[in-house]
Structure 1
Amino acid sequence: MDLITPLETICRLIIRARENEAQVPAIEADDEADPTDSDDEFAVLEDESNEAIEEEMMALLDDLGEDQVQEILALAWVGRGTYDVSEWEDALEEAADRDAEDPVDQLMDMPTLAAYLDAGLAAFDLTCDGIGQID
């Protein structure tokens, strides 16, 4: 199978999805004057709405063609186990269904998008290993 979406783009989306999944909702302290004074070493991960990463993911998906976003959705479905590799064309067809929820919304609503895309790539013997690495 040849992807129409560059592998580098999918890998970038995986990286951003991992970052998005790693963030946890902020804990609101009632009496704490300055949240930077906290002794919590994980405070840096706290981000109430994950806005910056979500915006970057949305921008990345918005820059792609409709067929590329559908391909990424189908790849996530293969990784999730909704479709098998042998059902790739069916997955692409369903991703292109005009009556279904917007593919970008479906991708953004997947709680483990990074894992699904990783597994989808692996199903087709593709990997992000070495892509975007500084040598």
Structure 2
Amino acid sequence: MLTISPAKIAHVIIRARKFDAGVPGSGQARELRAFIAALNEDEQAGLTAVMWVGRDTYDASELDEAIATAKAEATAPTEDYLLGNPMLADHLEDGLNALGISLEEAEEDIYPTV
């Protein structure tokens, strides 16, 4: 079971893409780090697990195992680990897709249409 809301994953994807395309010193990295650091342990493990599913380390059917492994093997701050992955946004989006979750629908929870 996913331990982080799809909207929070979508937020990380959006911020990671802005960070990748951004100007050095713009504050995007700092903001993304702070957001991930503020997540609770379950959310951080869920975020890591979705990234692993997206890069094919785990299959979508192994999500619970991936979350348990993320918790058990967490040694560095999650934000450092995730931001060290240059394909973070793509892996997270691929992970959501593998889990049958639409990024577009998750984004609507962040930016609801009026």
Q: Please classify the TM superposition score into its range, dividing by the shorter chain length.
A: 0.7 to 0.9
In 1: Cα distance, 2:31 partner to 2:77 partner: 18
Offset of residue 86 of structure 1 = 2.2
Percentage identity across paired residues of the two chains: 32
Task: Specify the SS of the correspondent of 2:102.
Answer: coil
Q: Is the 8 A contact 1:77 1:120 kept in 2?
A: yes
2:51 matches 1:52: no
2:1 matches 1:5: no
CA change 1:90–1:4 in 2 (3 A) is closer
1:1-135 correspondence runs (5 A): 1=1, 3-23=2-22, 47-49=23-25, 51-98=26-73, 100-130=75-105, 131=108, 132=111, 134-135=113-114
CA RMSD of aligned residues (A): 1.8
Q: Is the 8 A contact 1:73 1:95 kept in 2?
A: yes
CA change 1:85–1:99 in 2 (3 A) is closer
Offset of residue 82 of structure 1 = 0.9
For residues 73-94 of structure 1, what are the alpha-carbon distances to aligned partners after superposition, in whole Å with 9 as ceiling and x for unaligned? 0100000111111222221122
Task: Structure 2: give runs of 5+ residues left out of the alignment.
Answer: none
Q: Size of the alignment, in residue pairs?
A: 110
Q: List structure 1 runs of 4+ shifted beyond 4 angstroms.
A: none
Which one has a bigger Cα radius of gyration?
A: 1
More helix by share: 2
